[in-house]
Amino acid sequence: MKVVGWRGSITSVAVGLTCMFATAVWAGGSSFGDDDDDSADEGPAYFGFVRDTGGGTIPDAKVTVGIANRGGVVTRTDALGAYKVPGFGKEVDPKDVIVSCEKEGYKQTKVLRRTAPTALNVPIIETECTLQRGS
């Protein structure tokens, strides 16, 4: 058995911490789920990805999640093209929530909404936007 000195221990700790922080960034950022609120008055959260027509993700795209005729929330995608906004109140019908995406040099071509099967009772709605180069 080989004994590892203090330099090996420090290196191991540094590598471990780097992997831990890199995993948080890779998963969409360390704060991606920190805004989760299990409030009984909150409706489903909205999340998704912004992709180009080739399937590649688009970082720093502007995503607007709005309630028809009432306003909404504006956010930006992370480095992986992902976004998430908390739910609106339960009184808001998800059918009235509109998601749109934009980025300079692109035009929106498609919005695809996926909802969890009712049996799962998951309070989240996924919406994927597809953008095409050329505005």
Q: What kind and span of H or E run contains 115?
A: strand 106-115
* Residuewise pLDDT in 10s, the chain (135 residues): 455 455 555 555 454 545 444 433 443 443 444 445 455 567 889 999 999 999 999 999 999 999 988 888 999 999 999 999 988 888 888 888 999 999 999 999 999 998 766 555 667 899 999 999 986
102 exposure class (CB count in 10 Å sphere: 0-12, 13-18, 19+): middle
Q: Which CATH superfamily is domain 45-133 in?
A: Carboxypeptidase-like, regulatory domain (2.60.40.1120)
Instruction: Report residue 86 as tokens.
Output: 């908390």
- Confidence (pTM): 0.66
Q: What is the pLDDT of residue 70?
A: 85
Q: Where are the domains of the chain?
A: 1-30, 45-133
